[in-house]
Structure 1
């Protein structure tokens, strides 16, 4: 089969790799139907995630059909169409027993496309299948479902829930890429007074408006001043960092009000300065986190009911074999207008918010 292989910082290729097979009785092998590319994959290609060894197939999001299961798998079987979660969960360790699957100590957590071969291939081995794949309703479109493998549970759990968004809050989301846009959609479920989106790209700010942001600001327009103006100088109740660079994190800490929350979602590849000389007196809560995906079943039900605008984030589709082209389009989002790119499945013209 073929897969998209990481060979070191700046080096990758769509090439022949060995077919996966069942190694453990809890494994499933999935024929990949649809995959997408995550911003974390770009961080890996830059060398920001040193745990990823050269030779690893990338990717941690997919929808596909199970072709083989191990002897201990009970909840799914060959022929089932499933969502492959970005998080694998052993279900037995102390973290899994409390639903903190991202911190699994039994061989799970974020392993696909990180510590083992991932989903950007024709087939993928999924460990701990009973807890790591989700059967899909027959009517759910695969391109909708694949966005629930990572970005929607990440934005919801690590951003909105960790940030404790409440009715009447002012919420600022720094970064209007796919995760930031998903955070806008899921924050709206809690009826905040206003949502403010901050980004560098006008096209992404327009996408943010279309998905429910009440105000937008380009980074060069001193968004701190806009937030202060809209909150009588207090600052935002919740600020969600969805970029992963020092400047964006430090911007978040300047916009939060006393007693507010900064929820960091972005993947950071460089140190950021924590200005405790300003923050120590402000009763600010700063949270970090890797998604646990405990919310995935809920988000699946909401998507099936038409309550989440997942498909509106898809701006480009490609056949699976055009992986390198898809990466190029996704990496040059400022030029291409890309939000989420989807590979595989039925190819069709996509018209979505933010498309160039």
Structure 2
């Protein structure tokens, strides 16, 4: 750690506990972890929920739950999810809780499109190049009522607002490497509401309850499993998106 990071960490966590987005206690991916103030920061796992069922609650599933919640989805809506990576799939799980009239998933990668079709047969799966035209045909030329962008690309950001109908809500759950621009003259008359920000992970207890009740299940996202001694291999597989990986789970040796 450099001196600037140490100073910021000391400023935000004088007692050595908690975390913010980029400053946290090292050692989270180890066989044993000491968590300061665990009685305040952790969510108990119910007896009927396995470790793998609970694995994504504190991160990508919390992101998907947050994105679905702030999108104000109704049963009459057509919801477009852009991106079918792990976060997009967790978002899909949570969008289904609201029983919208139609869910459309837009994904560039063919293997991920196959994955969505296999596990979510009631969801319409499309490619980015056909997204606008398909949505028009599905919605009588209006566009999506709710758009949730979790792909994180420059083209996907533009696609999100282009696919939204007038007065729609566009929720940004993605992280971007560069600044994104709102071309307001092109959007004139669409009257869009954009919602974005850091994920609110305060609903982990609610998510855990939904898993316990069988209303959310993300275990099928775990396509590969590794012992802790092979964690570097797991990282390499995930980073290179080899062997149609979605998520890897690390188990004790």
Q: Over residues 298-340 of structure 1, what are the superposed CA-to-partner deviations in whole Å (9 max), with x where a residue is unaligned?
A: 111111122212211111110112111111111222x421111
CA contact (8 A) 1:259 1:282 kept: yes
Tell me the residue number matched to 1:124.
Answer: 33
Match of 1:215 among 124, 128, 134: 124
CA contact (8 A) 1:317 1:343 kept: yes
Tell me the residue number matched to 2:9.
Answer: none
Q: Does 1:171 align with 2:79?
A: yes
Tell me the residue number matched to 1:336.
Answer: 243
CA contact (8 A) 1:330 1:341 kept: yes
After TM superposition, what 4+ stretches of structure 1 lie above 6 angstroms from structure 2?
A: none
Report the structure, 1 or 2, having the larger strand content: 1
Deviates further, 207-216 or 138-147: 207-216
CA contact (8 A) 2:17 2:37 kept: no
1:230 shift after superposition: 0.7
1:212 shift after superposition: 5.2
CA contact (8 A) 1:302 1:308 kept: yes
Tell me the residue number matched to 2:163.
Answer: 255
Alignment of 1:220-259 (within 5 A): 221-259=129-167
Structure number with greater CO (CA < 8 Å, separation at least 6) is 2
1:345 shift after superposition: 4.4
Q: Does 1:311 align with 2:219?
A: yes
Match of 2:61 among 149, 152, 162: 152
CA contact (8 A) 2:19 2:25 kept: no
Alignment of 1:1-356 (within 5 A): 108-111=18-21, 114-157=23-66, 159-209=67-117, 210-211=119-120, 214-219=123-128, 221-333=129-241, 335-345=242-252
Rounded Cα–Cα distance in structure 1 between residues aligned with 2:45 and 2:167: 41
Relative to 1, partners in 2 of residues 1:126 and 1:211: Cα closer, same or farther, differing over 3 Å?
farther
Unaligned runs of 5+ in 1: 1-6, 9-50, 54-89, 91-105, 347-356
Unaligned runs of 5+ in 2: 7-12
CA contact (8 A) 2:147 2:164 kept: yes
Tell me the residue number matched to 1:93.
Answer: none
Relative to 1, partners in 2 of residues 1:184 and 1:212: Cα closer, same or farther, differing over 3 Å?
farther
1:172 shift after superposition: 0.5
